[in-house]
């Protein structure tokens, strides 16, 4: 399984970015996908996730109402639309895949330990 995150960059506060995570090597529709953020000198924390069937999603309190996660299984891609960006959103964003088929298809995992595979990360910098 390989995950390729892209779309990061430098943006002013209040701006927007759209991250993409392309998943290859597996059939994506049995994998929940999550986005995690690691700020400078901070631990990696969950930002958003989407269940394998796409019907459930999770957002951390810090991004709720500003970020939107979506998935396109035909393109094997998960997106994170980030609006109204703040300086505290700065960090490396990682996407991760967790195998949740059948009975777990409605579950949007929130913890790093619930994911099996990780991408390399993309840097997001929000200037004030």
Please write the tens of the pLDDT for every residue from 68-91. 999 999 999 999 999 999 999 999
Express each pLDDT in 3-29 by its tens digit: 999 999 999 999 999 999 999 999 898
How far apart are alpha carbons 26 and 11 in whole angstroms? 33
Placement of tokens 């298809």 in the chain:
105
CB 121 within 8 A of CB 92: yes
- Greatest alpha-carbon pair distance for the chain in Å reads 44
Residues whose CB is less than 8 angstroms from the CB of residue 28 and which lie 6 or more positions away in sequence, other chains included: 71, 73, 76, 97
């Amino acid at each position: 399984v390989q995950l390729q995150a892209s779309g990061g960059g430098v943006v002013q506060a209040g701006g927007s970015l759209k991250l993409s995570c392309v998943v290859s090597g597996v059939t994506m529709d049995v994998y929940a996908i999550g986005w995690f953020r690691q700020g400078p000198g901070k631990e990696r924390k969950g930002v958003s996730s989407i269940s394998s069937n796409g019907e459930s999603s999770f957002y951390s309190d810090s991004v709720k109402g500003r970020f939107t996660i979506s998935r396109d299984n035909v393109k094997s891609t998960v997106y994170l639309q980030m609006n109204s960006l703040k300086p505290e959103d700065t960090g490396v964003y990682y996407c991760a895949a967790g195998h949740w088929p059948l009975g777990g298809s409605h579950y949007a995992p929130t913890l790093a330990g619930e994911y099996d595979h990780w991408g390399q990360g993309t840097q997001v910098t929000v200037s004030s």
